[in-house]
Amino acid sequence: MHCKQVRPLLNALADGELNFWQRLRVTRHLRGCAACAAEAEVIRQLGAEASAWRGVTAPNSLEARIAAAIAANPEPAPSSPTLASDRRSHSQEDPSMHSPSAAPFAIPRSLAWRWQTLVVGLVVFALTLTVCARVYFGHSSLRGLEVVNWLFSDQYLVPSESMEPTLMGHEDRTVFKDGHDVLEAAVHDVIRVDQWAYRHATPQRADIIVFKAPPGADQESLALHQPPKENTLIKRIIGLPGDTIEVKPSPDGSRCLVYINGKPLEEPYIKEPMDKDQPSIARFATQGPLVLKPGQYFVLGDNRNNSNDSRFWGVLVVDRVLGKVTGIAWPLHRRRSFP
């Protein structure tokens, strides 16, 4: 606000007729303009003197206040040289008095306003930092709605070795490599899971999924004669609805292969070939062909010789699928995305 806007409001300020925002803007202007502050002080003094001399409430208008002051004290009040000099200096130094459009709008700076600004700034900063971190540690080529879907994807810790080498999940261990034992440090991948991936699509072969396993998959509880749990597992889809699945020895008898509709499945992602002798508790697709009905899937782990999968507890129904694994978020040296 500039002087031409403030001066007509000085009477209302003295009478307490301004609202909160008007009073805040006028007060802020008075702090920076000595001329207007002096004029406001004169108005306040005239009103106070008129009230004291007359013994009544001060009149509302400036003209009434001046008339009351003159009637009570005929001698004119001496003009303030400071007020005149302040007005001259203000007019010379502040060109906004002659250009109303040049005066900026005064933004209030109340304590509540500052707290609100701080909170909004922190929220925006946190969201920006989260987006940048997830894009950097994940898929740097995400665009548009993919960023939104990926930002709010679920994350899971890989607990076991069943999906190695695709997904790592083991403690410190010693492995035989290149003719001698090698100590491998513990690593557990943190994976991203898109829970919306199958909202308008169907699972495809070779997709890595997270699902709620049926109670029969909880082999430990069953062995201890305890009520089985519905654990969350991570496996790869091998068989689709309508497929005929069979796990049987290869023609040379050195290993087991997965046959789909009578043809062996090429699996470059597995850790090692399946043992030719399957465990006796592996009863599904290992003792004859298994035909998948609509909504049924056959899932296996990439570490075939150390995986609790559909060979042991049967088919997986689509309603149990929680989402599709879209990538590895942690550790940094293993971060990658899956198609």
- Is 235 catalytic? The answer is yes
Structure tokens of 165? Answer: 């080498």
Task: Tell me if 300 sits within 8 A of 238, measured CB to CB.
Answer: yes
- Phi and psi dihedrals of 117, rounded to 5? -60, -40
Q: Locate tokens 């850790």: which residue? A: 271
Q: What is the DSSP code (8-state) at residue 101?
A: G
In sign, the C-alpha dihedral spanning 149, 151, 154, 158 is positive
Amino acid at the residue 241: P
Task: Please name the residues in contact with 70: beta carbons below 8 A apart, sequence gap of 6 or more.
Answer: 76
Longest dimension (CA), the chain: 127
Tokens of 196: 């919306």
Answer for the pair 150, 197: CB distance below 8 angstroms, yes or no.
Answer: no
Task: Please tell me which residue in 61, 89, 160, 162 is annotated as part of the active site.
Answer: 162
Token pair in block for residue 143: 């665009």
Is 329 in a helix, a strand, or coil? strand
Q: Is 162 noted as a catalytic residue in this protein? A: yes
* Catalytic position from the list 4, 79, 235, 250: 235
76-to-44, 61, 68, 80 alpha-carbon distances in Å: 17, 19, 12, 12
Q: First CA to last CA across the chain, in angstroms?
A: 60
Q: Which residues contact 205 (CB under 8 A, 6 or more apart)?
A: 237, 238, 239, 240
What lies within 8 Å, CB to CB, of 314 at 6+ separation is 214, 216, 284
Q: How far apart are CA 236 and CA 294, in angstroms?
A: 18
Which residue numbers are catalytic? 162, 235
